[in-house]
């Protein structure tokens, strides 16, 4: 125990009863709590259980002198803050150096001047108050430093999560990256990514899919506010992401508040990455569809080219054959030369027109091939 709880406490140690009473009465009159001891041996026994704020210690005493008492006092653990003012008739250089060596703070000459006594005690009290204030400030600084270190560690988890989100290549990797920081915070729960058409990805903090009960809870939680807390549970709903936590540290309000803010940032980061992944997957699906369409178009053009070439060849053969047969038949019809020439010109004109029409299909084929090549080049140049 300690007597500091009741104010600035002073112990007077002197084998001279009259001197002890004189000093004690003056200090009590000034409002101090005073305790008297008649020997150094007795005060050392009591110091094992409690301590004063100031020790007025006579130097010359039987059995154990004041210097020895001070030296043993300083050797006791936790007694370095006790101030010691030696009372001595001799205050020469050697005496003062001896007092300094054993850990004394000041000297008071005998016979004791009560005004000087009061002044030195007031100085000691101010020093005590200053030290106590500094100790309190140091404690606050330690607390602040510890809090700063804790915050730094927690924020480090946030930054690490953000980097993991950027490295996630699909929704499953992103879900595991979101669960990781919550687990590092010592939390339990589940996460849901909501997809199009009711396609959801649910992941338990244990690493596997959610149980039916967890999925049912997520169904209800995803309709709550952006951040919703009840007892030790908390839900964060941002965009297409729901994070459900069932063991928030509500017994530590400060930490609970910090984790609430950190987790909101983490979920927001995960949701942004989710949007990007879904956009990338949609782009890849469209790109794959375009690739398939281009392949189909290329095959169709090849087929069209092959058929078109065969049609042109067959048409030219048939046209030429028709022209030859008509020419032969004209001889048998007994037409005049003028009539034969006229029919021959008509047949030749239609044949030329047919040939021209067939050549148009080659132009269409070339145009389709060129269009396909342009589309393929555009598709390959798209990131």
Range in 169-178, 248-257, 283-292 with the lowest mean pLDDT:
283-292
Instruction: List pLDDT tens digits, range 49-94.
Output: 888 999 999 999 998 999 999 999 888 765 678 899 999 988 888 8
pLDDT at 142 over 60: no
The two beta strands, 233-238 and 54-58, are: unpaired
Overall fold of domain 3-141: Rossmann fold (3.40.50)
Going by pLDDT thresholds of 50, 70 and 90, the confidence category of residue 138 is: very low
Rg of the Cα trace of the chain? Answer: 51
pLDDT of residue 299: 78
1 band by pLDDT with thresholds 50, 70 and 90: very low
Residue 106 pLDDT greater than 60, yes or no: yes
Average pLDDT of the chain is 82
Q: Of 13, 27, 15, give the one whose Cα is nearest residue 86.
A: 13
| Residue 13 pLDDT > 90 | yes
Q: List the chain domain ranges.
A: 3-141, 147-277, 282-381
Cis ω for the linkage preceding 75 (within 30 of 0): no
| Residue 205 confidence class, pLDDT cut points 50, 70, 90 | confident
Close Cβ partners of 35 (under 8 Å, ≥ 6 residues apart): 3, 9, 10, 11, 12, 52
Q: Residue 152 — pLDDT band, cuts 50, 70, 90?
A: low
Inform me whether the pLDDT recorded for 5 exceeds 50.
no
For the cut 60, the answer to whether the pLDDT of residue 4 exceeds it is: no
Q: According to the model, what pLDDT value does residue 215 have?
A: 83
Rounded Cα distance, 137 and 128, in Å: 14
**Tokens at residue 49, please?**
């259980």
Query: Per CATH, which fold does 147-277 belong to?
Result: Beta-Lactamase (3.30.450)
**pLDDT tens, 217-274?**
888 888 888 888 888 889 999 999 999 998 999 999 988 998 999 999 999 999 999 9
Q: Does residue 363 carry a pLDDT above 90?
A: no
Question: Does an H or E element contain 63, and which?
Answer: none
Q: Which of 87, 302, 274, 41 shows the shortest CA–CA distance to 165?
A: 274
Write down the pLDDT at residue 59: 93
Cα(203)–Cα(217) distance, integer angstroms = 13
Q: What is the mean pLDDT of residues 102-110?
A: 90
Q: pLDDT at position 382, please?
A: 61
Sequence-ordered list of residues with C-beta below 8 angstroms from that of 368, at least 6 positions apart, any chain: 301, 304
Band of pLDDT at residue 358, cut at 50, 70 and 90: low
> Does 147 score more than 60 pLDDT?
no
Range of weakest confidence among 40-44, 55-59, 137-141, 303-307: 137-141
Q: Which one-letter DSSP state was computed for residue 76? A: S
- DSSP secondary structure code for residue 200 in this structure: E
Residues in a beta bridge with 57: 13, 86
- Give the residue-averaged pLDDT of 2-10: 62
User: What percentage of the chain has pLDDT greater than the value 90?
Assistant: 28
């Amino acid at each position: 125990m300690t007597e500091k709880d009741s104010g600035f406490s002073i112990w007077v140690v002197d084998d001279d009863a009259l001197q002890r009473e004189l000093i004690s009465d003056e200090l009590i009159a000034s409002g101090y709590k005073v305790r008297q001891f008649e020997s150094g041996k007795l005060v050392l026994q009591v110091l094992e259980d409690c301590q004063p704020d100031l020790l007025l210690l006579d130097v010359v005493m039987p059995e154990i002198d004041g210097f020895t008492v001070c030296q043993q006092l300083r050797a006791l653990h936790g007694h370095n803050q006790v101030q010691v003012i030696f009372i001595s008739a001799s205050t020469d250089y050697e005496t003062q150096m001896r007092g300094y060596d054993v850990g004394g703070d000041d000297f008071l000459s005998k016979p004791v001047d009560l005004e000087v006594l009061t002044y030195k005690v007031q100085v000691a009290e101010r020093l005590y108050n200053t030290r106590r204030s500094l100790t309190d400030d140091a404690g606050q600084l330690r607390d602040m430093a510890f809090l700063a270190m804790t915050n730094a560690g927690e924020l480090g988890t946030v930054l690490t999560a953000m980097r993991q989100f950027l490295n996630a290549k699909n929704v499953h990797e992103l879900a595991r990256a979101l669960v990781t920081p919550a687990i590092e915070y010592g939390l339990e729960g589940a996460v849901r990514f909501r997809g199009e058409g009711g396609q959801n990805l649910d992941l338990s903090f244990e690493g596997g899919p959610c149980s039916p009960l967890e999925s049912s809870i997520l169904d209800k939680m995803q309709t709550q506010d952006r951040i919703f807390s009840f007892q030790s549970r908390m839900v964060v709903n941002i965009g297409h992401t729901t994070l459900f936590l069932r063991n928030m540290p509500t017994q530590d309000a400060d930490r609970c508040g910090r984790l609430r803010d950190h987790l909101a940032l983490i979920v927001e980061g995960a949701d942004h990455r989710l949007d990007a992944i879904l956009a990338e997957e949609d782009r890849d699906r469209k790109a794959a569809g375009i690739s398939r369409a281009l392949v189909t178009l290329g095959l169709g053009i090849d087929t069209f080219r092959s058929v078109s070439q065969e049609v042109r060849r067959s048409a030219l053969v048939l046209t030429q054959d028709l022209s030859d047969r008509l020419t032969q038949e004209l001889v048998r019809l007994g037409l005049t030369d003028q009539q034969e020439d006229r029919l021959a010109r008509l047949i030749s004109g239609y044949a030329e027109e047919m040939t021209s029409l067939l050549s148009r299909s080659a132009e269409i084929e070339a145009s389709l091939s060129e269009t396909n090549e342009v589309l393929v080049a555009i598709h390959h140049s798209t990131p």
